[in-house]
Amino acid sequence: MFRDVWLIAGKDLRIEMRSRVGLNQIVPFAVTVLVLFAFALDTDQEALRTYAPGLFWVTVLLAALLAIGRSFAVDLADGAADRLLLSGIDPIAVFGGKAAAIAVQLVVLEVLLGAGVVLLFDVTVHRYGLLVCAGLAAAAGVATAGTLYGALVAGLGVRETLLPVLLLPVVAPVLIGATRAFQDAFGVAGAEGWAWLGLLAGFAAIYGVFGALSYGALLEEA
Amino acid sequence: MESAVRLRAAVTLLGRFPALAGVDLDIIPGEIVLFKGPNGAGKTTLLRLCAGLCSLSTGQGWVLGHDLNSERRMVRRRVALLGHRTGLYDDLTVIENVSFWAQAAGASSTDVDEAMERLSLTGRLADTRVARLSAGQRRRASIASLVVRRPELWLLDEPHAGLDQQTRDTVDTLVRGAAAAGATVVLASHELERIAVLEPRVVSVVGGVVRADDDPTDSESPDPSSEAEDDRRVS
């Protein structure tokens, strides 16, 4: 099982590194969104610092939509999705591998955007442990939910427009929890960051289990 | 002897359209079978049904002894389907693609080397990204990624399309070799004279149903009902 998870994740990550779509398109898109937020609020530096966690996570979620869509597009482009069904790989492993690859991309994105937030929004990190744990848990939550909903819409001609409509409301708890945890880590609000981290971990666990159990049926329909 | 493929009154709906409208078919292990028929007749759907990729709406079917209603995952592990699309990743090289599908099927690196050799995908070509290959080279790479699976049932949709003469001969050799080794080979093709050298049993597919035929080189007369089906699909 773990060998197949690694096989799928390795394949997806190798494709992303090779194609450079993440580096040349998704990261610049995310940085642009962040800069636009800075332009919109730059007369009020205090507001920028206060809202930096929320702006950071909205940007991550928007960029995540592109990464998730891309993950399924490469399988659909020339019939590889059918080959995956015929390969004999357990759907749970396909789910785990795709979610892991998306999570790795999101963590890389978070690191780059985090540096951008520190530079552009003039925030200071007070709790590095909380920041790292919340970033990892949120990436896992968005990746598992995104993989599930990505498979749900994969077979539809309107998947690019339908994915945001379905996924963004679902990951709203991640936005709230990660924003509160980052507020605590940045020291901009008195939120109980570790408690919100529990919510993030719970969300990732629920969608991880739910996705693993239902992914086979979703692939059949796609 | 247990059939490699056994269908009884098999109906497959694509949306509301009956792509297969009550198919009865038996294929014995080791047989080479050609599905012939006009466009839209249901050949590709029949291949996908045998691969476990389409579901039965009504009727019954068994492939390699597995029930198509309840054991499609077991069927899929034991078959190889060459469709119109290659099933390859553009941003991976040929060797990376073939190795990925080999590992997915539990095949060894020796199997990969052997398949690459048989399809003349050695040297610089092996390390070339699939996106940079010609259509014929992509087709060869796609076939190589199926060869490594060592399937018991080959389902080949227009296997000679886009291939040069030398690779067509290679495909014919593969088909004969697979059948000689006990695998079953089912092809769908319009190149009847080309396929005839494989001496297949011919099954005509017309309007979503099948009928037996003997001469693989019989010309395919235009079929009004099938043309009408094409129109209905489009609409």
What one-character DSSP code corresponds to residue B118?
A: H
Does B15 touch chain A if contact means CB atoms closer than 8 Å?
A: no
CATH at residue B230: 3.40.50.300
B235, pLDDT greater than 50: no
Of A78, A82, A84, the CB nearest to B90: A78
pLDDT recorded at residue B215: 54
The residues of chain A scoring below 50 in pLDDT are: none
- Percentage of chain B with pLDDT > 70? 89
Name which of A7, A75, A83 to mutate to probe chain B: the one with the most chain B Cβ atoms within 10 A of its Cβ: A83
Q: Tell which residue, A42, A193, A56, A173, has the closest CA to residue A126.
A: A193
Note whether A77 contacts B90, CB cutoff 8 Å.
yes
Q: Check if the beta carbon of residue B39 is closer than 8 Å to that of residue B33.
A: no
Does B102 touch chain A if contact means CB atoms closer than 8 Å?
A: no
Number of compact structural domains in chain A = 1
B147, pLDDT greater than 70: yes
Q: Can you tell me which residue has the tokens 């089906």? A: B229
- Per the structure, the complete domain to which residue A84 belongs is given by 2-221
- Per the structure, the complete domain to which residue B43 belongs is given by 5-234
Number of compact structural domains in chain B = 1
pLDDT recorded at residue A220: 78
d(CA B84, CA A78): 9
Model confidence pLDDT, tens digit, residues B165-217: 888 888 888 889 888 989 999 999 888 888 888 888 998 888 888 886 555 55
- In terms of CA atoms, which chain B residue is nearest residue A222? B53
pLDDT recorded at residue B214: 54
Banded model confidence at residue B1, pLDDT cuts 50, 70, 90: low
The set of residues, in sequence order, having a beta carbon less than 8 Å from that of B227 and lying 6+ positions away, is B38, B40
ipTM strictly over 0.85? yes
Model confidence pLDDT, tens digit, residues B13-50: 888 888 888 889 999 999 999 999 888 888 999 999 99
